[in-house]
Amino acid sequence: MSHIVIVGGGVIGVCTAYYLAERGARVTIIEKGDIASGCSYGNAGLIVPSHSVPLAAPGVLWRGIKWMRDPESPFYIRPRLDRDLVRWLWRFRGFCTDAHLHRAVPVIRDLSHLSLGLFRELAERGTVDSGFRQDGVLMVYRTAAALADGHHEARVLGDAGITATVLDGDGARAVEPALRPDIAGGVYFPDDAHVTPDRFVIGLGRVVERMGVTVRTGTEVLGFATAGRRIAAVETTRGDIPCDDVVLAAGSWSPGVARGLALDLPIQAAKGYSITYEQPANGPRVPMLLVESRFAVTPMRGERVDTLRFGGTLELAGLDLSIDRRRVGAITRGARDYLTLPQEMKLLEVWRGLRPCTPDGLPLIGRPRRWDNLVVAAGHAMIGLSLGPVTGQLVAQTIAGEKPLLDLGPLDPDRFA
């Protein structure tokens, strides 16, 4: 392996650099901001084989359209005349079926399990101190109707080999005593884990630098110099960088970068917010997904203080990073419908990020036919943190010419062409 240039210093780019450097490759990461300045910084930190259901699931699109007029709804499509959005929604609609669900769940499950194993290995080896814990994730339901859907989902996931325990209200409160007395119940996934995402990505960024990877932050990729079917150099705001292989890991910005290579990547940005507080006394101890509100709650290990993070909303609004304070307010208010929390909590940070979403809910990982020395690794939507290590391993195996850990067919970046 010779010189490999990775575009993007998020969880996908940094994990890829790690597994390439482990194989002795010469690697450069090019990042327009800082390491983890995109979606990988303030997410909910959950590593979730239990989340093996893709965004494209029956009923999702119609719920999004119904909620378009509600400024506090958890799923929102900002109306705009954008050809790429219309094409994306049309394709997405086609995947909102039970048949697709049954095809996609095993693929995401296998990726997630492998990735969880790699997270565990990184923690056990002491490679990076990321606050990794395997405390499970509790899905919490306020209403009996939603709990019945939860039972159905637990059965679908159970058939796919994912362990889930169905709990009534008392059972759920035994797992997490901070839950309110009026919740209907929960489904507990004991194998799920979590990290503090910025600690993981920034920490691994430092590790790869020590392994010899060149990390060029504050450097934006503008285009590519090509020769026939090969990329000869990556053109940046700080000059051209010659390369033997390129990995495109620019998250929601990947379609814009790929246009310079005549590639049409169907990725739409889906904005989400997180609000991080100092962990209050007797605050929640178990990561949770508050199902009707679609919010995540994650207690996290900080370097100085422990924190409690609320994350949520999914807004198809393009590459817009503005903060809508109504949606931010709805997240903490919504959490109080499920949890007994102190009136006053110490706010540490409000954050937003853009999830890179494909129409079928599966990432794009592999070599597109058009180029001999390009690997795409983007479109991880709601589970990019979870899938960071396995994606890094798969990309490194592809570039090294090794047999990949699993079949990359369903992740083919050309599958929509």
Ligand X SMILES: Cc1cc2nc3c(=O)[nH]c(=O)nc-3n(C[C@H](O)[C@H](O)[C@H](O)COP(=O)(O)OP(=O)(O)OC[C@H]3O[C@@H](n4cnc5c(N)ncnc54)[C@H](O)[C@@H]3O)c2cc1C
The only residue of 5, 17, 18, 43 in contact with ligand X, by rule CB under 6 A:
43
The only residue of 4, 5, 6, 8 in contact with ligand X, by rule CB under 6 A:
8
Written as one string, the DSSP assignment of 236-304 is ETTEEEE-SEEEE--GGGHHHHHHTTT-----EEEEEEEEEEEPPTT---S-EEETTTTEEEEEE--SS
Per-residue x/- track, 332-361, ligand X (CB under 6 A): ---------------------x-xx-----
Note whether 195 and 41 are within 8 A (CB).
no
Does 49 sit near ligand X (CB under 6 A)?
no
Only segment of 64-72, 180-188, 252-260, 331-339 that touches ligand X (CB under 6 A) = 252-260
The only residue of 25, 45, 96, 248 in contact with ligand X, by rule CB under 6 A:
45
Per-residue x/- track, 213-232, ligand X (CB under 6 A): -------xx-----------
Does 274 sit near ligand X (CB under 6 A)?
yes
User: Given phi > 0 = left and psi -120 to 50 = alpha, else beta, which region is 169?
Assistant: alpha
The only residue of 95, 141, 200, 253 in contact with ligand X, by rule CB under 6 A:
253
**How far apart (Å, rounded) are the C-alpha atoms in residues 142 and 334?**
11
Does 203 sit near ligand X (CB under 6 A)?
no
Q: Between 184 and 215, whose beta carbon lies closer to ligand X? A: 215
Q: How far is the CB of 127 from ligand X (least distance, A)?
A: 18
Does 105 sit near ligand X (CB under 6 A)?
no
Q: Between 25 and 249, whose beta carbon lies closer to ligand X? A: 249
- Name 126's Cβ contacts closer than 8 Å, sequence gap at least 6: none
Only segment of 42-50, 61-69, 139-147, 275-283 that touches ligand X (CB under 6 A) = 42-50
Q: How far is the CB of 121 from ligand X (least distance, A)?
A: 17
Q: How far is the CB of 76 from ligand X (least distance, A)?
A: 13
The only residue of 6, 382, 394, 395 in contact with ligand X, by rule CB under 6 A:
382
- Name 265's Cβ contacts closer than 8 Å, sequence gap at least 6: 254, 255, 258, 364, 376, 378, 379, 413
Q: Which residues pair with 226 in a beta bridge?
A: 231
Per-residue x/- track, 305-334, ligand X (CB under 6 A): ------x-----------------------
Indicate the residue type of 307. Answer: T
Nearest to 247 by CA among 39, 130, 393: 393
Only segment of 89-97, 100-108, 179-187, 267-275 that touches ligand X (CB under 6 A) = 267-275
Query: What three-state secondary structure class fits 174?
Result: helix
Only segment of 58-66, 144-152, 160-168, 382-390 that touches ligand X (CB under 6 A) = 382-390
Per-residue x/- track, 286-305, ligand X (CB under 6 A): ----------x---------
Q: How far is the CB of 182 from ligand X (least distance, A)?
A: 26
**How far apart (Å, rounded) are the C-alpha atoms in residues 130 and 67?**
36
Burial 320-334 (b: 16+ CB within 10 A, else e): eeeebeebbebbeeb
Only segment of 9-17, 128-136, 261-269, 337-345 that touches ligand X (CB under 6 A) = 9-17
Neighbours of 304 (CB within 10 A): 6
Identify the residue whose tokens are 């589970």.
383
Q: Both ends of the chain: CA-CA distance in Å?
A: 29
Q: How far is the CB of 144 from ligand X (least distance, A)?
A: 27
Torsion sign across C-alpha atoms 28, 33, 38, 42 = positive
Nearest to 330 by CA among 387, 287, 380, 290: 290
Q: Between 89 and 377, whose beta carbon lies closer to ligand X? A: 377
**For binding to ligand X (CB under 6 A), which residues are involved?**
7-13, 30-33, 37-40, 43-46, 220-221, 249-253, 257, 272-274, 296, 311, 353, 355-356, 378, 380-386
